[in-house]
């Protein structure tokens, strides 16, 4: 990505004449109808998933559902909805946890990446990114979590990174039921249509009263809460004029259309695509992703049916039917506690009414349900994280091996979510920040390189993938330890400080808690100086005693020049 080419989006009204605007509106509506017709089969799949896994998004094909209506009538077992929540927590904790810096910016050129000015500049830009992203009004944590939930349920999530003038960056997770996607020739999403409703009051505040169709204006006077359908289309600008700074010179066009009037109400553009559209996995020639819930949808359906059967069986066991004789069948028979039923015991004391025993094996049904639950939990990676929690008492090497295994298992799936969510998101954020004047001045070295930077991911997922190197170092040290006892040159083979730095990096130790090489050299010098001082202090008593003896000997020699001075140190033993 290039930092200097970013700009904020514009929603200024187009200068083209009304006939051109009407033609563009008709083209957008026509393309929207085509996109809607092509995903009809998808909506059937998504509806079944929503009804059993994510019921609050269950309005595919029925956008008029009232607020607060019950949508979980088809859920008898809660395993899948709970597994979806755990899946979202796992993705967020492994890919972009709010408690740590999970990415940094660097350059493609390894020489420039070591330049102190460039490193300092990119660290400042990264600090600004995280500060803006996690401001309370940005609402990133809530909306990114909704997006991940959609990925787990439907295979596709949509996160809108909006630039609200005067408020900063705002994040919004768009429901899949409202959005329609199209790819470019490289399989990258570059077209998004959103069909949604606004009240007359909302439309006036968003687009301006003068831009509304007459039908909506009249509703403002009668019933300002009356709702109208609108269409938002974002697509590549095929008539881009590169030298222009307005919407006609941007890479993507944006159009808001009133569907009932087929009228353009607002036009603008974006320099970069404002949506992040992560997908769990895609099939050949498919635009939308397939989710874990779609993979195990037959199992989810089976589990719900088994739960209904088990409920009926349990009711028969707890409250069984009562068998009566023909003579007593027409008489009143009370099943309430402490009831008195006369005439249902014969002369020999045998009951004439008895419960019906189905001899159903409820435990077998529960075991079968648990087997289905394990399949669902496996699909949502719940089982993987459960194993790590159930065995907390493990050694450091074992923990590193578990982290390595977890990174290998999660890398294909979460790596794609990471790249398709965070990559476009960071590009859009830099686009907004660079042209709002919030970024510091770029170093001349980076300007000469064209301002090209790249994202370096540092999430727990990436650290887990690097755990193999840590395991290798630990195993090597254990293997060569016996050899070092026989040949001291073995210990000279390894740079202990470098290995310690690598292990700290793999385990996610913050860099500011480690000493630099210069600081280590200073600490070594201070330690050596301290050792010299301690040696001098230890030798001071001996030196003082020797000086005293020399002084006494000199005094005696001066007093008796012909007398031999006594020996300072005794001879022999």
Alpha helices in 436-466 (DSSP H): 444-448, 460-465
Segment 391-419, tens digit of pLDDT: 556 665 666 566 666 666 777 777 888 88
Pick from 132, 272, 273, 261: which is nearest to 207 by CA? Answer: 261
Distance CA(499)–CA(474), nearest Å, equals 10
Crossing angle, helix 140-154 and helix 396-434, to 10 degrees? 110
Segment 332-341, tens digit of pLDDT: 777 788 888 7
Q: What is the pLDDT of residue 259?
A: 94
> Does 568 have pLDDT greater than 90?
no
Segment 257-272, tens digit of pLDDT: 999 999 999 999 999 9
Residue 125 banded pLDDT, cuts 50, 70, 90: very high
| 522-533 average pLDDT score | 81
Contact 100, 83 (CB under 8 A): no
> Does 154 have pLDDT greater than 50?
yes
Segment 201-255, tens digit of pLDDT: 999 999 999 999 999 999 998 999 999 999 999 999 988 887 787 888 899 999 9
Long-range contacts of the stretch 71-78 (C-beta < 8 A, 24+)? 74/304, 75/51, 75/304, 76/304, 76/305, 76/307, 76/308, 76/311, 77/303, 77/304, 77/306, 77/307, 77/369, 77/373
Segment 485-505, tens digit of pLDDT: 878 887 788 888 887 877 776
Q: What is the pLDDT of residue 8?
A: 40
Q: What is the DSSP letter of 211?
A: G
Structure-model confidence comparison of residues 415 and 121, the more confident one: 121
> Does 554 have pLDDT greater than 70?
no
> Does 312 have pLDDT greater than 70?
yes
Residue 13 banded pLDDT, cuts 50, 70, 90: very low
| 85-92 average pLDDT score | 91
Structure-model confidence comparison of residues 359 and 468, the more confident one: 359
Q: What is the pLDDT of residue 207?
A: 92
Residue 1 banded pLDDT, cuts 50, 70, 90: low
Q: What is the pLDDT of residue 63?
A: 63
- Mind spelling out the 3-state secondary structure of 10-24? ECCCCCCCHHHHHHH
CA dihedral 56, 57, 61, 64 (to 10 degrees): 50
Q: What is the pLDDT of residue 329?
A: 54
List, in sequence order, every residue forming a beta bridge with 198; answer none if it has no partner.
228
> Does 188 have pLDDT greater than 80?
yes
Q: What is the pLDDT of residue 341?
A: 78
Beta strands in 122-222 (DSSP E): 158-164, 168-174, 179-183, 189-199
Rounded to the nearest integer, the mean pLDDT of the chain is: 83
Q: What is the pLDDT of residue 540?
A: 67
């Amino acid at each position: 990505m290039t930092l200097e080419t970013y700009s904020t989006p514009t929603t200024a009204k187009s200068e083209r004449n009304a006939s051109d605007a009407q033609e563009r509106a008709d083209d957008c509506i026509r393309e929207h109808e085509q996109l809607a017709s092509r995903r009809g089969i998808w909506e059937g799949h998504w509806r079944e998933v929503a009804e059993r896994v994510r019921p609050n998004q269950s309005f595919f094909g029925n956008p008029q559902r009232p607020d607060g209506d019950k949508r979980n009538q088809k859920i008898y077992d809660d395993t899948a909805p709970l597994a979806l929540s755990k899946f979202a927590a796992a993705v967020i904790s492994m890919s972009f946890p709010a408690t740590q810096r999970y990415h940094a910016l660097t350059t493609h050129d390894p020489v420039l990446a070591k330049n102190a000015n460039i490193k300092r500049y990119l660290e400042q830009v990264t600090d600004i990114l995280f500060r803006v992203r996690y401001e309370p009004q940005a609402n990133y944590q809530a909306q990114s979590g909704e997006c991940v939930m959609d990925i787990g349920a439907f295979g596709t999530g949509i996160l809108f990174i909006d630039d609200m003038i005067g408020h900063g960056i705002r994040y919004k997770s768009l429901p899949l039921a409202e959005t329609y996607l199209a790819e470019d020739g490289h399989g990258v999403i570059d077209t998004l249509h959103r069909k949604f409703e606004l009240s007359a009051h909302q439309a006036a505040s968003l687009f301006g009263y003068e831009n509304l169709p007459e039908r909506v204006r009249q509703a403002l006077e009668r019933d300002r809460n009356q709702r109208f359908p609108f269409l938002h289309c974002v697509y590549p600008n095929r008539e881009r004029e590169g030298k222009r700074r307005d919407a006609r010179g941007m890479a993507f066009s944006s159009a808001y259309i009133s569907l009932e009037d087929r009228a353009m109400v607002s036009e603008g553009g974006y320099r970069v695509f404002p949506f992040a559209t992560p997908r769990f996995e895609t099939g050949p020639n498919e635009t939308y992703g397939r989710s874990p819930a779609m993979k195990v949808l037959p199992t989810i359906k089976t589990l719900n049916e088994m739960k209904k059967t088990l409920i009926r069986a349990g009711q028969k066991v707890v409250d069984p039917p009562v068998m009566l004789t023909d003579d007593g069948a027409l008489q009143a028979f009370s099943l309430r506690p402490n009831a008195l039923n006369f005439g249902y015991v014969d002369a020999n004391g045998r009951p004439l009414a008895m419960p019906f025993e189905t001899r159903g094996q409820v435990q077998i049904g529960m075991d079968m349900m648990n087997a289905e639950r394990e399949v669902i939990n496996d699909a949502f990676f719940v089982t993987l994280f459960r194993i790590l929690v159930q065995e907390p008492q493990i050694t450091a090497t074992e923990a590193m091996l578990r982290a390595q295994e977890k990174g290998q298992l999660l890398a294909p799936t979460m790596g794609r979510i990471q790249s398709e969510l965070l990559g476009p998101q960071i590009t859009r954020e830099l686009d907004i920040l660079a042209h709002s004047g919030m970024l510091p001045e770029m170093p001349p070295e980076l300007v000469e390189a064209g301002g090209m930077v790249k994202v370096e991911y540092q999430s727990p997922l990436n650290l887990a993938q690097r755990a193999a190197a840590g395991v290798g170092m630990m195993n090597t040290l254990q293997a060569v330890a016996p050899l070092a006892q026989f040949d001291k040159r073995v210990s000279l083979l390894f740079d202990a400080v470098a290995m310690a730095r690598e292990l700290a990096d793999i385990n996610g130790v913050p860099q500011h808690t480690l000493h630099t090489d210069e600081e280590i050299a200073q600490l070594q010098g201070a330690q050596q100086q301290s050792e010299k001082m301690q040696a001098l202090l230890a030798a001071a008593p001996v030196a003082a005693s020797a000086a005293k003896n020399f002084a006494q000997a000199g005094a005696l020699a001066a007093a008796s020049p012909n007398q031999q001075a006594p020996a300072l140190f005794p001879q022999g033993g």
